[in-house]
Each structure stands twice: as C-alpha cells, then as structure tokens.
Amino acid sequence: MMYRATQLTSVRLAKPAGQFLRWSSKSSINLSSSLTSYPTDHTSPNTEPYITPSFVDNQFFKSESKEWFDIHDPATNYVVSKVPQSTPQELEEAIEAAAKAFPIWKEFSVIKRQGIAFKFVQLLRENLDRIASVIVLEQGKTFVDAQGDVTRGLQVAEAAVNITNDLKGETLEVSTDMETKMIREPLGVVASICPFNFPAMVPLWSLPLILVTGNTAVIKPSERVPGAALIIAELIVKAGVPPGVLNIVHGKHDTVNKLIEDPRIKALTFVGGDKAGKYIYEKGTSLGKRVQANLGAKNHLVVLPDAPKQQFINALNGAAFGAAGQRCMAISVLVTVGKTKEWISDIVHDAKLLKTGSGFDKSSDLGPLINPGSLTKAKDIIEDSVKNGAVLALDGRDYKASEERFSKGNFLGPTILTNVKPGQRAYDEEIFAPVLSVVNVDTIDEAIELINANKYGNGVAIFTSSGSSAQYFTKRIDVGQVGVNVPIPVPLPMFSFTGSRGSFLGDLNFYGKSGITFLTKPKTITASWKSSTVDDEILKPSTSMPVQQ
C-alpha cells in the first residue's frame, strides 16, 4: 500500500483563533499518510514526490518557497518527497505564532496540560506503525528499528505526564506569618533543531516536556527526514493543543540562524554533529539563550576475558551494526583486553550472518546509509585506515543488491577493522556507518586510559562477569553513560540522557529532572498575611535591611 500527497485548498485541522495570524493566502495541504494508509514498500522511480508541508497555528500548508530540497529514499535513491527552505516570512510567522500562543498556553492549568499529554501518548501509540513506516521510507532503517525510534520518543512523552509531580514547588514559612514559595515557570518559545538519524525520537526528546512545562515550540526537523515530525504535529492537534503552541519550519542554515538570532526564542535544543552543535551553542549562548546541545560520539565497548562470550558477541554485533551504525550510541570501537582478541573470528562469523537490505524487508538486520556522501565517507575512512595499518577482518563494501532497484542504494555491509590505533581515521573520526574498529590492549587500565583520552564522552560499555572489575571500571571511566553488560546504556526518561565531554555542550541534559530544569526558570514569591501580634512591637517604618527573623 502506498500513499500519495493530496493538496487541498480548504481543509484545515483547526481554525486559527482570532488573535493569531491570518492564513487566508496559505495553500492548505494534507499529510501524505494516515492512520490506515502509509507506505509498506519503496516507491517506484516515476512516482511523483509528495510535498512536505510546513505547520503553523495548527495548519499544514505548502510553503511558498522557491527553494526546495529533494528527499531521497536511501535504499533506492529515488526522490520520494520535497521539503522547502522556509521563507523568511514563514519563519517569522512561525515564531510569532509561538510567541502569541505562549501567554495562552502558560495559563492552561498543569492538570489540563497533563490531560492533553495523556491523549498525545495514546495517539502516538496508535500511530506508531504509521510513523515507523515513514521513517523507513525517508531514513532507511529497518521497520522494527523504526518502531524502536518511535517507542523511545513515546517513553519520553509517557514520563512527561508525571509533570504534576515533577513541577511541584517548595514552600516554607520563613518568618511569622511570612511564607516564601519557589515555583518554576516556563521560558517562552523554545526551538529544537533535530538530526536525521532519529526522526521521531529526537523531536520527542524535547517536545513533550516543552509542552507540559507550559512553553511553546518551533521545531526544525532534519531536512533529510521531516516526515515523522509532521505526523507528530497532527497528533498534537488531535490531542487538543491550541494553535501556535507547536510550529514546524524547514530548511538549512538560514532557518537555524533565524532560530538562534530571534529574540523571541528563549532556548534552543540541538542534537546533531559537532560542527553545527558548536556553532549553535556558541552563538546561542552569546545571545543570552539557554542551549543544550548533544553532539557526536565514539563509543567503546571493553571486553574482559571473563565476559560471557556469546552474550557479549550478540550484544556487540547488535550495537555496532544496528541502524547501520547511525546511532549516536552505536558501538564503534571494540577494545579487546588480553586474550579476548582471539574472539574476533567468532565476532566476524556472526556479523556475516546479518542481512543488509531494505528496511521494508522483515529479514533485513540493517538498512542503507542516509546518502551517497555518507557511504563515500565511510569507504574513504576504511581505505585510508587500511593504508595506515588497520586490517580488514570483514569487508562490507562488497555488498550485492538483491534487486535492481536497490543497486543505487547507499548500502554498506557490516565491516570490521582490526589492529586499529589512535592516529588512524577509523579511530579518530566518527564514521557513522556499520564499521567496527577493534583496538587491542593488555589491561583494563590501558582500556580506561584510551577511552578517557578520547574527545567524546557519550557512551561506553564493559562486558565482564566480575562485579569488582565492573565497579573498578565504572568509577574510573570519564564517560556520561556507562553500561555493564549493556551495550547501549541510554537511560529511560525518568533519568536524563547524560552524554558528556565532547559529546555535550551545556549544563542541563535532555529530559528527566534536568530537562525540566532546562525548560523552566525559578521564581520565588514571599508573602506576609498577618494572623498574630508577635511582631507588633515594630510600629514605625524600619529603614534597615529586612532580615525576616
């Protein structure tokens, strides 16, 4: 079953309220999927690409931009959709809609916002397969992996409904008949800039908490995979969020620069690569905005000789090659300690069994890379590292397409390089592909030293059956998310995503308690309502500093 874009001139999800911007000139447009109609296979080369709408004031519309980017299906490289560079006017309207909606949304009681969040969770669950299918088409990952992408975001939305507990303030009678209470208030408009590799999860890392805390949002999905975010917008409307609270804009640098520079935007959340993240963090903070920025990664898995071997191999291959290595928490470096280097042939044996292919094919274990540039980059790094001493234990470059339509896809099979060392590109760079680099060391201390010298600090794992070795490791390792016999230790959203060092810029991490702190500012209110005569001896004005004893 395939879906087609339907352009309408009159259908609207909700009529913008009187105080919001006028949209009479906008060309309304329907989303190209629905709860019951969504892609289950790749499109053919002559299928007309669907238009990716923009979303402002609860209305989907076709941008008036003259500049449009092609969205390619990474498995075939056929163009499946077109996404605009939002015009300056459209960016202005989106931010203005969010700014105007803020005082209204802020006045919604927390229990009302919680009720909407409950409904949103339910709708997300109902639309899980629909969102996952659009992710497969635009991003390439396998359907089950795309379901996981949505589910990890859904879990953040589920945790957000606990806002009635999480937002409780503090109060104390600080002096007779005088109380101070501290509450946390929303900031205003928050902008989120998202990467290509988790089209649903990353927008949902921020959006549910932005909403329940009383902020409004302008989201810029990755221009390579915007489809999932648009479905999320449709569900937000159905959940009962008023116009202007969520707005979606598109594009590249011009859009990002507007979001950074506009004074109505009070905070920026960013997930993506180092270059964009550093730029956004530095420029955003220099303009007085709060910024949280999750950046690139190089995640190591250390295996000790006492590790449960098959459990380790299964975990390693899943974490290194799942999502074609395009996860910021993918294991990209295996550190074999001592004689575990002899396990490489078993790892290679099992990695060879993984099937690379279409994300719509249930038997595929990994899909293609996002674009031809990523494939070329990975191949260049493999070649360069081999020239500099690395050894190819498994070469995924010899991938053979099972069908003609996949012959132009960006496929790379699982690749394993041994004898890798710092100084080789395979170790020094984030490859973001199904390429596992193996470094051998003699002791756990050498492993710790290697990892702590790496610039990134997103995730790390150790596999061992010794509790004291695990304890020794976890206390000395300088990485934000540590797994013991767990290859991808991303905590569930009752905690926060705690990547650190070169993988994070900012002070407060995404979601969990620090996510709420990031999205709110404290306010103290001190009030005196006399009910006793204890302090009545002070009958004349005092000009000394009040100390309230």
Active site residues: 328
Residues 6 or more apart whose CB falls under 8 angstroms from that of 109 comprise none
Q: Quick one: which of 208, 258, 251, 241 has its CA closest to 52? A: 251
CA distances from 364 to 94, 323, 517 (A): 40, 11, 41
**Contacting ligand NAD within 317-336 (CB under 6 A):** 328
Scanning 15-23, 195-203, 358-366, 478-486 for contacts with ligand NAD by CB under 6 A, the matching segment is 195-203
Task: Tell me if 457 contacts ligand NAD by CB under 6 A.
Answer: no
Task: Tell me if 194 contacts ligand NAD by CB under 6 A.
Answer: yes
**Contacting ligand NAD within 521-540 (CB under 6 A):** none
**Per-residue tokens: 213:** 């805390």
Which one, 332 or 415, has the nearer CB to ligand NAD? 332
For every residue of 380-396, which 3-state class applies, written as one string? HHHHHHHHCCCEEEECH
415-418 and 504-505 as β-strands: parallel, antiparallel, unpaired?
Answer: unpaired
Amino acid at 402: S
Residues 6 or more apart whose CB falls under 8 angstroms from that of 513 comprise 166, 496
Task: Tell me if 212 contacts ligand NAD by CB under 6 A.
Answer: no
C-beta of 386: minimal distance to ligand NAD in Å?
23
Task: Tell me if 511 contacts ligand NAD by CB under 6 A.
Answer: no
Scanning 220-228, 332-340, 399-407, 513-521 for contacts with ligand NAD by CB under 6 A, the matching segment is 220-228
Residue nearest to ligand NAD (CB): 272
Task: Tell me if 91 contacts ligand NAD by CB under 6 A.
Answer: no
Which of 62, 141, 220, 300: binder of ligand NAD (CB under 6 A)?
220
Task: Tell me if 74 contacts ligand NAD by CB under 6 A.
Answer: no
DSSP state of 200: T
DSSP 314-344: HHHHHHHHGGGG-STT-EEEEEEEGGGGGGH
Task: Tell me if 493 contacts ligand NAD by CB under 6 A.
Answer: no
Backbone angles phi, psi at 462, to 5 degrees: -125, 135
Which one, 124 or 191, has the nearer CB to ligand NAD? 191
Residue bearing tokens 């329940």: 212
Quote the CA–CA distance of 457 and 315 in Å, as a whole number: 20
C-beta of 350: minimal distance to ligand NAD in Å?
25
C-beta of 517: minimal distance to ligand NAD in Å?
18
CA distances from 159 to 212, 291, 512, 515 (A): 11, 22, 8, 11
Q: Could you tell me if 203 and 225 are in contact, meaning their C-beta atoms sit under 8 angstroms apart?
A: no
Scanning 83-91, 144-152, 192-200, 528-536 for contacts with ligand NAD by CB under 6 A, the matching segment is 192-200
C-beta of 440: minimal distance to ligand NAD in Å?
25
C-beta of 359: minimal distance to ligand NAD in Å?
18
Task: Tell me if 372 contacts ligand NAD by CB under 6 A.
Answer: no
Task: Tell me if 296 contacts ligand NAD by CB under 6 A.
Answer: yes
Residue bearing tokens 């996981």: 148
CA 193 to chain centroid, in Å, comes to 9
C-beta of 81: minimal distance to ligand NAD in Å?
16
Which of 432, 463, 511, 518: binder of ligand NAD (CB under 6 A)?
432
Quote the CA–CA distance of 255 and 366 in Å, as a whole number: 32
Amino acid at 138: E
Which one, 154 or 249, has the nearer CB to ligand NAD? 249
Quote the CA–CA distance of 58 and 247 in Å, as a whole number: 8
**Contacting ligand NAD within 221-280 (CB under 6 A):** 222-223, 252-253, 256, 271-273, 275-276, 279
Which one, 295 or 315, has the nearer CB to ligand NAD? 295
Q: Which residues bind ligand NAD (CB under 6 A)?
A: 193-198, 220, 222-223, 252-253, 256, 271-273, 275-276, 279, 294-297, 328, 430, 432, 458, 499, 503
